[in-house]
Amino acid sequence: MIKEERLRRIMHHLKEKGFMTVNEISEVLGISKVTVRRDLRLLESQGLIERKRGGAFLKNFQLDYPFFFKLEEAKEAKKLVAKEAVKLLRNGQVVAMSGGSTVFYAARSLDSSPVNDLTIITNSITTAWAIINLRKHFKLIHSGGTVRENSFECVGGQTHKFFENISVDVFLMGVDGVDIESGITFYDFEEATVAREISSSAKKVIVLADSSKIGNVAPFKVMDVGGISALIVEKLDNEIKKNLENLGIEVIIANAERGEEKR
């Protein structure tokens, strides 16, 4: 069992039971106690669990909330970020778009942008739905695959096979965590794997994140933060902004008053 799958299953069981001992985790997953302890140390270092009394319990873990719940969270911030994202697109580009509420708002923002000629590729049903319902007409290609219940993103073998031989100009990626040390992270293992595959073949990776995602660390890493081309966020600590820019990342702060970026 690969590490990412072990971590995903540990988090799943802890969400269900609240607290589990090292022995219980070892038996349920069929792995050694040494491996369990090593995985728990990693999860604890990311602030996801707390180890206690020979076991572990969840600590401030964000549940996999349904998409339509997330759509209302930090709504205005997400719309600001979305509007800035579409300003970076140009006619004739092939653009991959992930799932997630901020990317959904970016898709809807295309109607008010000057761009009218894009090929849009996505594994997300909600993103595809947003594109279909625009007044403009873009070429839309959906990967297909197995639909995840809460996020409406498609994952699995068919999805991976689809993205194997596809290169894109831009990847607009919604995320669960952005951290200089831990990188770009997701709460779902399969979604992270798809995002990693798309990122590897994208000329430019643009992360769309409201400020609650900054400094947050989810269990499954997509890439190092230095691997992204740009980050769009509605507000950001100056020190973090400077550190990101030192890594060569373009940081765009959405301006709530004028809708223009501050660089």
State the pTM of this model: 0.78
Query: What average pLDDT does the segment 122-133 reach?
Result: 98
pLDDT digits over 201-215, tens only?
Answer: 999 999 999 999 999
pLDDT digits over 61-81, tens only?
Answer: 555 667 888 898 899 999 999
Instruction: Domains for the chain: give ranges and CATH numbers.
Output: 3-58 (1.10.10.10), 67-262 (3.40.50.1360)
pLDDT at 60 over 60: no
CA nearest to 196, candidates 214, 171, 216: 171
What is the band of 257 on the pLDDT scale with cuts at 50, 70, 90? Answer: low
Is residue 120 a contact partner of residue 110, using CB atoms and an 8 Å limit? Answer: no
Alpha helices in the chain, H assignment, sequence order: 3-17, 22-29, 33-45, 67-70, 75-86, 101-109, 125-132, 157-163, 189-200, 238-246
CA nearest to 168, candidates 249, 105, 94: 94
Is residue 145 a contact partner of residue 155, using CB atoms and an 8 Å limit? Answer: yes
Is residue 108 a contact partner of residue 132, using CB atoms and an 8 Å limit? Answer: no
What is the band of 263 on the pLDDT scale with cuts at 50, 70, 90? Answer: very low
Helix, strand, coil percentages, rounded to 5, for the chain: 40, 25, 35
pLDDT digits over 146-185, tens only?
Answer: 999 889 999 999 999 999 989 999 999 999 999 999 899 9
Q: How many residues does the chain have?
A: 263
